[in-house]
Chains A and B, each alone.
Chain A
Amino acid sequence: MTNREGDRALEPSHCPTGAAAANPRTLEPSSPALEVQAVVKKFRRGRGLKKRITRAVDGATLTLPRGELFGLLGPNGAGKTTLVRCIATLLIPDAGTIKVLGHDAFKDSLYCRQRIGLLTSGERTLYWKLSARDNLNFFAALYGLTGKARDKRIDYLIELLGLKDVERERLERYSSGMKQKVSLARAILHNPDLILLDEPSLGLDPQFARFIRQFIKEELNRKQGKTILLTTHYMDEADELCQRIAFINKGKIVDVKTPEQYKRDIPHTEVLEIRCQGQPDTAPIQALPGVERIASEFKDGVTTLKVVAPRAETVLSEVIELLRKGGRILGIDIKQPTLEDVFLYVTGTSLGADTAEHKPEAQ
């Protein structure tokens, strides 16, 4: 890596961003920021006779033009993180191709890694015994940032993310939100063209989550023009931030649309939401005429049941009658469809569900 590359990693106002600025030899202006083509990733689980294979990602195909803020929305275990790890070259897929700015992620992995910024969920991704500045100094070295260019870039990011007062303190004294800010600074430290954000607001208090979302949308995407792939299982987050959203379920990309298109396409206007004690049998409700889909989530002894029907009030009395046999009804609500309801309609799975163990194959 040359000093020229180090110099480019200044604040956006001081230098051009993107691969073109870094190395004109590798300029491919027509290529999208990211192309994922028929990617399959299988994992082996269990041992001996219990050994089986699950497809964590099952033929995923995506194209992100430069400058897009794209969401990957799905429940826990849908394959979002696995796909992000494949794009970040942390995982080698079993099939398919991934191209970053027109370069094959595995044949030209060094180039792609230099162009990708990564943020994974969880706060244990930094050196807690080091300060924010020391952490950033170390990771800057991994990306070839040295000397004054590095110092200037780190100064800029520390200022931008409001870490100035605590930059010399060890991370072990930081709150989760503060650590996430440092993680975000690390993800954009080398001024990448494509930023992968895996559940960036997971586990953060509302104030920090709001800051992180605002920063992603306004600073990184709108102001700096970065291409961002954001995974989340918070439908509010996807709805608020993303220009397009892919629904991913059981390893498959089910659909890709804008949030508005999704909401417009849903062929009904109401969702019946019922909370009741215990875990009622939902099969008779599913069998009712007029009920298209149902999803249930059980938490702390209470089941939240969502019934999708062309007209919710037409099935309301029958649903109540069936549920009363199983236990006490705590609340009933008829709602306008949200992105979460659209997800349920399209995939038949609730975003709150855990689908980690899906699609086993015989060994």
Chain B
Amino acid sequence: MSFAATTYVIRAEMVKTVRIYFAYPIIIVFWAIFPVLWVLPFLFQGKALVGSGSSAAFQQLTGSGNYMAFILIGAMVSNFVFSGLWGVGNSLREETYWGTMEYIIASPTHPLVILVGKTLSEAAITTCIVVLQATIISLLPFGIAFTVAKVLPVLLLVGLLMLGFYGFAIALAGFTLLIKEVHGWIHTLEWVFFLFSPIRYPVQVNVITEFVSKLIPLTWALVAIRAIIMVNRHDVGLWKIVGVLLGMDAVLLVGGYLTFVALERKTRRDGTVGMH
């Protein structure tokens, strides 16, 4: 299949995904209220824990006392990661529910092309949500301001972070093709990430979490993103972190691709393509 035909399939998949996404009226409600509501639990949690939103103990661990900013950035970036995992990892599962998976597999288009289309539509939807979230929190008094000098390196870091996670999600999509279950996997992963990466707290609070966190790309990205946004520091070894993320991306993308191809073939052999 030519490059033009491949991009056309990706576009068709994106159009289809977005149309189906907005075919459910509840999504409109979600878009109307979620960007405002999501920030409230963090606001209340912060107030309950540190009162004014700043903490000296927290300052010692992270270099910034702004607990609210710390946790809101963690929540935004992790939202990106988790919706990517859900969206891509679960997408082929949805196709089997709809009964359309067999027709995709029986077509001359490689299912990975479809998965790329799903990934891009998921990324587009999640980006819109995160941009809305970022706009709202920048308007509230949390000490978070987005300037071009901050946003560009953050976009680079988020892009690299997501590349690796999409590689991982593609492997996950392969597993869901085979074992027809995704919720258990993603819930487990979510909690592993919550435990071992600095989404809600600095991982330095525990030796084990601090050690394991270094194996998770989310940790590297969050450290750099927070340094840039919260304390306006670009001297946190940005290029070193970019290098680490690139290395992890290469491993996750190649590993994800190989895993998917192997599992898709096994599914054809087992005769479970259309099962759900």
Tell me whether A142 and B108 are in contact (CB under 8 A). yes
- Taking residues whose C-beta sits less than 8 angstroms from the other chain, chain A's interface range is 35 or more
CA distance in complex: A127, B11 (Å): 17
A146 near B8: Cβ-Cβ < 8 Å = yes
Within 8 Å by CB of B102, from A92, A125, A143, A170, lies A125
Measured CA separation A67–B22 after assembly (Å): 44
Of the candidates A91, A113, A139, A186, which one forms a contact with B268 in the assembled complex, judged by CB atoms under 8 Å apart?
A91
Please state if A128 and B271 are interface contacts (CB–CB under 8 Å): no
Binary contact track B102-143/A, C-beta < 8 Å → 1, others 0: 111111110000000000000000000000000000000000
- Docked CA distance A89–B100 (Å): 15
- Given that A43-B271, A130-B20, A146-B8 are known contacts, is A113 also in contact with B107, CB under 8 Å in the complex? yes
Q: Return chain A residues, CB-CB under 8 Å to B106.
A: 88-90, 113, 116, 118
Q: Would B20 and A138 count as touching, CB distance under 8 A?
A: no
Contact A118 B265 (CB under 8 A): no
Neighbouring A residues of B265 by C-beta, 8 Å: 92
> B183 on the interface (CB 8 Å rule)?
no
* A221 in the interface (beta carbon within 8 A): no
Give the number of chain B interface residues (Cβ < 8 Å): 32
Shortest C-beta distance, A137 to chain B (Å), equals 7
**Chain A residue contacts of B205, Cβ below 8 A:** none
Whether B99 and A122, one on each chain, are in contact in the complex, defined by CB atoms closer than 8 angstroms, is yes
A187 CB to nearest chain B CB (Å):
9
A172's nearest neighbour on chain B, judged by CB, is B23
User: Would you call A287 an interface residue if the criterion is a C-beta within 8 Å of the partner chain's C-beta atoms?
Assistant: no
CA of A110 to CA of B109, assembled, Å: 8
Say if the beta carbon of B29 comes within 8 Å of chain A. Answer: no
* Complex-state Cα separation, A92 to B13, whole angstroms: 26
Residues on B facing A (Cβ under 8 Å)? 1-2, 5, 8-9, 11-13, 15-16, 19-20, 23-24, 98-100, 102-109, 265, 268-271, 273-274
Q: A118-B102, A128-B98 are in contact. List 5 more A-B contacts (CB 8 A).
A: A90-B105, A90-B273, A122-B99, A129-B19, A139-B107
A residues neighboring B (CB under 8 Å): 1-2, 41, 43-44, 56, 82, 85, 88-92, 110, 113-114, 116, 118, 120, 122, 124-130, 134, 137-139, 141-144, 146, 170, 186
Query: Closest 8 interchain pairs by CB?
Result: A141-B12, A124-B99, A129-B23, A142-B107, A125-B99, A113-B108, A142-B109, A1-B5
